[in-house]
């Protein structure tokens, strides 16, 4: 990873929203996903990333929006890099807010984004205002107003999708393997274990899984552990305790993967989210 980068991160205790402002040059981060909705703007440069099987170039004046679980990476194709501001919205918070603000929201559905990039000046403006209000801890009433304006603007972009089982188009072997990984996330799983659980050979399993989820099984397991690591770090667990709980060899092993996915160390992430020092 290029060393010419910086990251500032804040956690809003009231809403659980993380705000991140960062600058990267060269390779920014490896393919990964989040459990949150990602809503942000590119302030400077070109932010290039793969998502939804497409290569996207986010430019200043555009908003980018990703749903929970969507695999994406990050790269700066120009030598001066890119700078972005982003909000991480917890799904339960976004769902509750949208239903409270809009009575016509359908029951038993989840918000979704029709497009990854949007050239909508009003949306970009409200993302910037909400980010500034939360990141700089403005008055509560100012934060609430900024978020309400953002949610109202987002409502024109959102669609509603029904939750449920995996899409029927996905092969059953990939679904079974994913379920096995989630059920044994902290264990030292091998491809032979997955093959035995799904009833196919390792090569067919790996091809089906990557085609379905965009990552090989081993990469998916690492990202699953990293997603859980963020939650545990926000709860105040130390990086060493998190590494032990999730099956990483040690704290250094967790740290290497964490920095590749998120651009900062577990200890730094924990300190920004909890105001607790590493010990």
Per-residue model confidence (pLDDT) at position 4: 79
CATH 1.10.10.60 in the chain is located at 172-274
Q: In the structure encoding, which two tokens stand for residue 262, read together? A: 């998120």
Report CA dihedral (39, 41, 42, 47) to the nearest 10 degrees.
Answer: 20
**Which of the residue ranges 150-164, 167-181, 186-200 has the most confident prediction, judged by mean pLDDT?**
186-200
Q: What is the pTM of this model?
A: 0.86
Across 35-51, b (16+ Cβ under 10 Å) vs e yields ebbbbbbbbebbbbbeb
6-161, CATH topology level: Jelly Rolls (2.60.120)
Whether the per-residue pLDDT at 90 is higher than 90: the answer is yes
218 contacts 257 by C-beta, under 8 angstroms: no
Residue 235 CB-density burial (10 A; 0-12 exposed, 13-18 middle, 19+ buried): exposed
- Provide the pLDDT confidence category of residue 278 given band limits of 50, 70 and 90: low
Whether the per-residue pLDDT at 60 is higher than 80: the answer is yes
Per-residue model confidence (pLDDT) at position 3: 55
Q: In the structure encoding, which two tokens stand for residue 126, read together? A: 């409200």
Question: Hunting for tokens 């600058």 — which residue is that?
Answer: 23
- Provide the pLDDT confidence category of residue 1 given band limits of 50, 70 and 90: very low
Q: What is the mean pLDDT of the chain?
A: 91
CATH 2.60.120.10 in the chain is located at 6-161
Contacts of 71 (CB under 8 A, 6+ apart): 31, 32, 33, 50, 51, 213, 214, 215, 223
Across 189-227, b (16+ Cβ under 10 Å) vs e yields bebebbbebbebeeeebbebbeebbbbebebbbbbbbbb
172-274, CATH topology level: Arc Repressor Mutant, subunit A (1.10.10)
């Amino acid at each position: 990873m290029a060393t010419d980068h910086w990251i500032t991160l804040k956690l809003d205790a009231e809403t659980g929203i993380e705000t991140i402002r960062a600058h990267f040059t060269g390779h920014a981060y490896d393919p990964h996903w989040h459990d949150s909705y990602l809503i942000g703007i590119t302030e400077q440069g070109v932010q290039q990333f793969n998502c939804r099987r497409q290569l996207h170039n986010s430019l200043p004046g555009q908003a980018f929006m990703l749903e929970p679980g969507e695999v994406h990476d990050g790269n700066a194709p120009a030598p001066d890099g890119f700078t972005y501001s982003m909000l991480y919205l917890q799904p339960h918070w976004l769902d509750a807010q949208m239903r409270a603000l809009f009575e016509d929201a359908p029951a038993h559905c989840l918000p979704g984004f029709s497009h990854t990039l949007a050239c909508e000046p009003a949306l970009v403006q409200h993302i910037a205002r909400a980010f500034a209000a939360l990141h700089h801890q403005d008055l509560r009433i100012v934060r609430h107003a900024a978020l309400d304006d953002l949610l109202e603007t987002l409502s024109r972009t959102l669609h509603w999708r029904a939750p449920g089982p995996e899409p029927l188009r996905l092969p059953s072997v990939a679904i079974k393997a994913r379920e096995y990984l989630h059920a044994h996330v902290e264990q030292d799983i091998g491809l032979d274990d997955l093959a035995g659980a799904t009833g196919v050979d390792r090569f067919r399993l790996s091809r089906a899984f990557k085609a379905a989820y965009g990552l090989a099984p081993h990469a998916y397991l690492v990202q699953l552990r990293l997603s859980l690591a963020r939650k545990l770090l926000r709860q105040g667990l130390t990086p060493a305790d998190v590494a032990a709980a999730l099956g990483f060899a040690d704290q250094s092993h967790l740290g290497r993967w964490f920095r590749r996915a998120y651009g900062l160390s577990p200890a730094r992430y924990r300190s920004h989210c909890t105001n607790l020092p590493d010990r």
